[in-house]
Amino acid sequence: MNPFNPFKSIKGVWIVGILLSLALAVIVNLFAGVGLLEFDELAFVRWVHIVAGIIWVGLLYYFNFVQMPAMAAAIADQGGPGPAAIGKYILPRALLWFRWASLVTWIAGAWYLVRTDQLLSVFTFGLSRGGDVAYALPMGVGAWLGTILLINVWAFLWPNQKKLMGLVPASGDADLAQAKRTVAKVSRVNAVLSIPMLMFMVAAGHGVAF
């Protein structure tokens, strides 16, 4: 039986990565004088939010900056292998991680705001009673942009991608062509919106955009 090698599977990478994170956290807590077994729910939720968000936005940039140009080049290359391998083997896996990472990111972010009693304040840009405008205004811009991105993923990108991948029937060539245009347009919109979203999510920590 071969010994466990974490680099040969995604599950192994996750297991070792999480264990390493916990081990380093224990070491840091030890030197900081914090209890080794003390569990900080907010820190954990924030960690999940950040990791899932990196997967989500990273795949969004992959789709826009790598896959879409590569697919176009593969289609134009008459003597090449074509785009079939990307559509059959890469795209389904990428979309699986992409759409669920988007949901985990949003839920973890919303849960963090609920636990810190800032959900209403953030989504009203600090205009609700007792809201901290300096924090909630930039965070609210980022949260609303993230919410728009999430809606676009589940309401527009995924339903149309299912048609293009043959997971659900399309009504004809015109429907497929429309689905392809929708995916391209919404994906570009999400890429554009993600850039200010990241800026304002980071800016919330110091209350200004720059």
Q: Answer yes or no: do 58 and 110 share one domain.
A: yes
**Closest Cα to residue 67, out of 90, 51, 46, 41?**
90
Whether residue 34 is found in the same domain as residue 100: no
Read off the pLDDT of residues 90-143 as tens digits, 9 standing for 90 and up: 999 999 999 999 999 999 999 999 999 999 999 999 888 777 888 899 999 999
Residue 32 sits in the same domain as residue 45: no
Question: Structural domain of residue 22, as residue ranges?
Answer: 1-38
Mark whether 119 and 184 lie in a shared domain.
yes
Q: Are residues 163 and 126 in the same domain?
A: yes
Is the pTM value of this prediction over 0.85?
Answer: yes
Identify whether 114 is part of a domain: yes
Q: Is residue 33 domain-shared with residue 49, that is, in the same domain?
A: no
Number of domains observed in the structure of the chain:
2
The answer to whether residues 143 and 178 belong to one domain is yes
Amino acid at 59: L
Q: Is the same domain home to 78 and 154?
A: yes
Closest CA to 59 of 171, 181, 158: 158
Tell me, yes or no, whether 19 and 115 share the same domain.
Answer: no
pLDDT tier at 36, thresholds 50, 70, 90:
low
Instruction: Establish if 79 belongs to a structural domain.
Output: yes
Q: Kindly state whether residues 54 and 28 are assigned to the same domain.
A: no
Cα 101–Cα 102–Cα 105 angle in degrees, nearest 5 = 80
